[in-house]
Amino acid sequence: MAERGVKTVDILPECLIQEILGFLRYDEATKTSILSKTWLQAWSTLPNLKFTSDFYEVNMDLVDNIMERYRDENIPIEKFELSKSYYSCPSRIVPLFYRWLDVALQNGVKYLVFRIRNLPLPIFTILAAKSLKELVLTNCDLTCASLSSGVVNCPSLRKLSLIKVYLDEDMLQTLLNSCPLIESFTLKDCMDLIKIELLNLQKIKSVSIWNNINQHIKIQAPTLEHLSYSGYPLEELNIVECQNLKSLELSHMYIYDPSFYNLISRCQSLKVLKFQHCWCTGRIEAPNLVSLEYMGDQIPELKIARESSQLEHSKIILLRCYDNIDAAWFCKLRKFLSNLTSWSQVSLYFYQCGEINVKDLQLDHRVDIPQVGVLNVDFKREIKKCSTFIDALLWSCHPRRLNLKLTGKMATFFINYLMHMKNSSHSTSHGKKPWYSQLKEVKAYKLDRKSRSWHLVEHKSEELATRKRDKYYILLDWVFPTPITTMADLFPECLIQKILCFLRLKEAAKTSIVSKACLQAWLTLPNLKFTVDYHNDNMKIVDDIMKRYRDGKVPIEKFDLSDSNFRSEDFPLIDKWLDIALQNRVKDLVVGVCSFPSYPLRIFKFLAVKSLRELVLSNCNLMHVSLSSDATNCHSLRKLSNQSPFRWKHASCHDPTRGPGRDGHPELHRPEIPLNSPTH
């Protein structure tokens, strides 16, 4: 039997045994060395070494002997991790640490982890190692390292983590310059840093920053895909370039700055967005968003754009639901959940809840009841007024699966009340049906503590009558209303856009709620006409619309900026809007600005656009246009109207091909000829 046992142990190859030993502490792995020669050999040549030193002589001697054996036998070391117990490193122990570090570096270590308080680390000696791929430093001191040697090239390093490390800005920049090919960078609670700049990192894909002080952070990383930021105000985070950003995680901050939401809208590749313990107020516009997660104590005041409302994964966790849990709270929850078509998971942790006025809920029917895949409800205390709570909970959302953690007494009432709701909904045959009439089926299951398996719970079962907190899940089958097809859905998008062209922009915007077809048609209207007045403060609306057209590269057929009232300081804004129209291949352009002084038009920039067919000018200043570029060929232009009171200095629109006017030139309408253009 003994021989059979040894043979069974020896079946595993040495590499697999070492993988198993890697999950054990070193003292536990040592005990396996007596099983067989194979296990002894696997233990004695473990590539991953993890030591936690408590500075006792016996412990230190043991580690020293192991490292000497690895040095003498030249045993390869993949990962070397050295942690200390709570106190700072005694000066007499420092030479030992340095010796162990040298052995690890000489034996080709790839992953190096140091967690030793106030240890002055020879950082440039470490970076000189050609085999190093990952470096994690915690509580180490880099202020003693000399910068006189300059930048050390460490092309193999791919991951750098600095946690509670003592260093200044110069040392940080030297480290980053020494590792230009890192793909992951983590910086946490490095208190001596005031300014953090991540520039010229050619391969960086992931950045994680946690800070507890006011640190200015600048990131310019076109290759960046994942960003995690936690700490002080978001205004201190300056992201210059991140067009490939796919995942963004934010925690422990107030998020109300419009520039942040503009950043999200600019990141066309953004797919994952996570908030943890953030106070959020704003609107999320991310057309390619796939996953949205929120965890905190309060219901966020977020609005999600309709083009971002269809997500594959969506999750919200409210951890401390104990303040003002009333009808208004559930109305707010329902309103937020209605941002999305459906939620994958919603988790609520209740500490207390009083009686809820159900009549107040019935008065609020502004949004449809949102659908939820899994609803987790954890009751930390027993709720007395359980019936009104269930009414409010299932009024705020319709879950397909309801996971409960509560006492058996509450579970009995919960299940019986749900069965009552189901039976009541079936018995309602005429008149106005209650909101719970969509509940079709209820099945409850309880977790058996001994067998760790789920079993079906019968209705009005006495086995639930216990005060212990148990786990239950309830499957709810709802009859969801079939979406109504509107008449607007029968029209093609191009026809809807033709209809919208006869409406003012405000009126056209109202049609976006009629159907998805109308929404899409309104979002991609090819004809834009704005009457802007700085007195009415509607320039921000126009600017947001033009940014959306620029970022989405939405084609523009006609751009009309007539009868608009600007100040001279607003001229750069006009330039930006016109540039967007030109970039999006505008065909018909109308510029009429009611301001003094008149708008200085960049006429030759317009004439250089190959798509332009019609140009109408009103109150534009062409007297100071530079003629250094001479004539500009504008082959596509067919109609040119000038209604400005200023005389034209010079403008040549030469077309060598035949045009609609005489001699192949475009028609030139004098100021006295009125412009006839349809309003749209």
pLDDT at 446: 87
Domain of 562 in residue numbering reads as 526-625+636-643
Share of the chain above pLDDT 70, in %: 77
Domain assignment present for 561:
yes
Residue of 288, 290, 299, 367 whose CA lies nearest to 329: 299
- Identity of the amino acid at 416: N
Q: Which position has the token pair 């954890």?
A: 378
Domain assignment present for 570:
yes
Domain assignment present for 64:
no
pLDDT at 667: 39
Domain assignment present for 418:
no
Q: What average pLDDT is seen over the chain?
A: 78
Q: What is the DSSP string of 565-628?
A: B--GGGHHHHHHHHHHHHHTT-SEEEEEE--SSPEE--HHHHHT-TT--EEEEESEE-TT---T
Strands 439-448 and 453-457: antiparallel
Distance of alpha carbon 23 from alpha carbon 28, whole angstroms: 10
pLDDT tens track for 583-627: 888 898 888 766 555 667 777 777 888 888 888 887 776 766 666
Distance of alpha carbon 247 from alpha carbon 132, whole angstroms: 27
Domain assignment present for 332:
no
pLDDT at 351: 78
The residue among 475 and 570 whose pLDDT is bigger is 475
Q: What's the number of domains the chain is made of?
A: 1
pLDDT tens track for 181-203: 999 999 999 988 888 999 888 89
Residue 662 has pLDDT above 50, yes or no: no
Among the residue ranges 511-515, 578-582, 644-648, the one predicted with the least confidence is 644-648
The residue among 129 and 407 whose pLDDT is bigger is 129
Domain assignment present for 650:
no
Among the residue ranges 70-79, 286-295, 464-473, 512-521, the one predicted with the least confidence is 464-473
Residue of 329, 320, 378 whose CA lies nearest to 354: 329
Strands 439-448 and 469-478: antiparallel
Domain assignment present for 579:
yes
pLDDT tens track for 352-366: 776 788 777 766 666
Domain assignment present for 585:
yes
User: Which residues 6+ apart lie within 8 Å of 190 measured at CB?
Assistant: 162, 163, 164, 165, 166, 167, 172, 211
